[in-house]
């Protein structure tokens, strides 16, 4: 007899779906919205976790788990690192080691730019190099370099 009750409920829902297709479509859309909201929440949680990993916070320790749950500041790695250092989860020197590569690249560009203007080259001693040459071809190449050097200067 119980099987019959379940059968009747299924047939009632099917009858309502055929009677009111708008309501059936609304139920489908409500279910889809619920799934999408759940996916959005999972994505937001994963994004938050990634921000903490990028900041160098070890998510496996117990204190870190509480820190991640309670943290409500900016989700930038720098802000998280400062807060984690205040909570003694990471050491300040770890923050310096995790400095953004963009900053290091900027310093490299500055040092390269400062070297571009430096045109002083070591004076080449062509007489010694020619004396140490092992073939006539090498001597001719050194003489050509010396002429080009004289023309450019």
Structure tokens at 130: 């020619």
CA torsion angle 47 51 56 59 (round to 10):
-40
What pLDDT shows up at residue 1? Answer: 47
39: left (phi over 0), alpha (psi -120 to 50) or beta: alpha
In the chain, where are the structural domains located? Answer: 123-153
The answer to whether 149 touches 124, Cβ cutoff 8 Å, is: yes
Q: Which of 28, 1, 2 is nearest to 13 (CA)?
A: 28
The answer to whether 84 touches 57, Cβ cutoff 8 Å, is: yes
Long-range contacts, stretch 60-69, CB < 8 angstroms, 24+ apart: 61/89, 63/87, 63/89, 64/89
What pLDDT shows up at residue 26? Answer: 94
Give pLDDT tens digits for 32-52: 999 999 999 999 988 988 888
Give pLDDT tens digits for 96-147: 555 567 777 777 777 777 766 655 666 777 788 888 888 989 889 888 888 8
Helix (H) or strand (E) holding 150: helix 136-152
């Amino acid at each position: 007899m119980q099987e019959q009750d379940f059968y009747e409920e299924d047939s009632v829902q099917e009858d309502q779906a055929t009677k009111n297709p708008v309501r059936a479509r609304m139920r489908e859309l409500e279910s889809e919205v619920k799934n999408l909201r759940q996916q959005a929440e999972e994505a937001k949680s994963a994004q938050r976790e990634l921000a903490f990993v990028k900041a160098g916070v070890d998510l496996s320790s117990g204190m870190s788990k509480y820190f991640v749950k309670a943290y409500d500041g900016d989700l930038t790695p720098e802000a998280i690192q400062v807060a984690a250092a205040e909570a003694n989860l990471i050491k300040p020197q770890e923050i310096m080691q995790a400095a953004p590569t963009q900053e290091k690249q900027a310093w490299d560009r500055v040092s390269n730019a400062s070297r571009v203007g430096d045109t002083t080259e070591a004076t080449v001693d062509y007489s010694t190099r020619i004396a140490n040459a092992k073939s006539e071809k090498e001597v001719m190449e050194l003489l050509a370099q010396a002429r080009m050097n004289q023309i450019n200067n």
